[in-house]
Structures are given as C-alpha cells and as structure tokens.
C-alpha cells in the first residue's frame, strides 16, 4: 500500500500509522493507537522487573562476645531461617572497652556459629576484624 493511502486510512480510523520494521524491504507499518502500545510495553517491562528476586544481606548483630548460650541459639535459629530462604547472612560482633582484650572469645563465638550452621551454609567471608567489629559472611549452600 502506498504511504498516502496508509496515512489516509489511519486518519479515517482515528489511529496512528506506526513503522514496525524499518529495516524490512519494503518497510512494514501498522495502524494502531501508539499511546496504548507504549503503555502496554511499559507495563510488561514493569511486570518483568517486579518478579526479579534480589538477594539482600541479612545482618545479625551480636553485642558482646560474652553472649549467653540461649541468646546465641536464638541468633543461630534466625540465621538458619534466612539461609533457608536463600539470603546470605552477615554476623557482626561488636567489642566495647575492655572486651577488645579478649578478641579470642569473639572468634570462639563465630566458630560455634559456623559449626551449627555448616549443614546448610558455607563461609563466604571468614571472620575478619574491622575496627572494633568482627564480621563474618555466610551464604546458603
């Protein structure tokens, strides 16, 4: 169809003449509502983006290396839930004042954590000292 006839037909239908395949020989055009077409493309794109799963770190903070056995158990159970959901877990242990003299206690706490979570996790980042904090990263696996 000639371009003039196509434009006339589009105006008659009160729609737009949209070039769909410009590289084809001859170029392909379609009579459609262009605004509605753009809206549906954006909607599809938004829907695809909404279904993507982003992994986020879950952080569990331990305030002192002298944490009670039961309190540590609760933190480990919470970490187990996060790992089963597929989220990596970062443990941070904060040292205050004189506690900095007993850094070995912090490593012992992290050793207990890794032993109890070894069945469903792997260590991504070993226990590492950063300022006054001791940090460790576990990922599901």
Q: What is the pLDDT of residues 83-104, one digit of tens each?
A: 998 899 999 999 998 988 888 9
The CATH code of the domain at 58-140 is 3.30.110.10
- Helix 103-117 with 69-84: angle, nearest 10 deg: 50
Q: How far apart are CA 131 and CA 12, in angstroms?
A: 73
pLDDT at 43 over 80: yes
pLDDT of res. 51: 75
Give percent helix, percent strand, percent coil of the chain, each to the nearest 5. 45, 30, 25
pLDDT at 52 over 90: no
* Token couple for 73: 């158990």
What's the rounded mean pLDDT across residues 20-33? 89
Asked: is 3-50 a CATH 3.30.428.10 domain? The reply is: no
Q: For the full predicted model, state whether its pTM sits above 0.85.
A: no
3-50 and 58-140 have identical folds: no
Q: What are the φ and ψ backbone dihedral angles of 61, each rounded to 5 degrees?
A: -105, 135
pLDDT of res. 45: 87
């Amino acid at each position: 169809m000639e371009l003039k006839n196509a434009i006339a037909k589009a105006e008659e239908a009160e729609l737009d003449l949209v070039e769909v395949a410009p590289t084809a020989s001859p170029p392909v055009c379609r009579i459609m509502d262009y605004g509605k077409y753009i809206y549906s493309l954006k909607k599809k794109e938004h829907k695809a983006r909404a279904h993507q799963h982003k992994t986020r770190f879950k952080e569990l903070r331990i305030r002192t290396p002298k944490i009670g056995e039961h309190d540590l158990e609760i933190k480990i159970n919470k970490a187990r839930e996060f790992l089963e959901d597929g989220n990596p877990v970062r443990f941070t242990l904060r040292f205050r004042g004189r506690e900095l003299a007993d850094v070995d206690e912090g490593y012992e706490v992290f050793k207990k954590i890794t032993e109890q979570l070894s069945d469903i996790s792997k260590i991504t980042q070993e226990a590492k000292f950063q300022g006054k904090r001791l940090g460790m990263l576990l990922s599901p696996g």
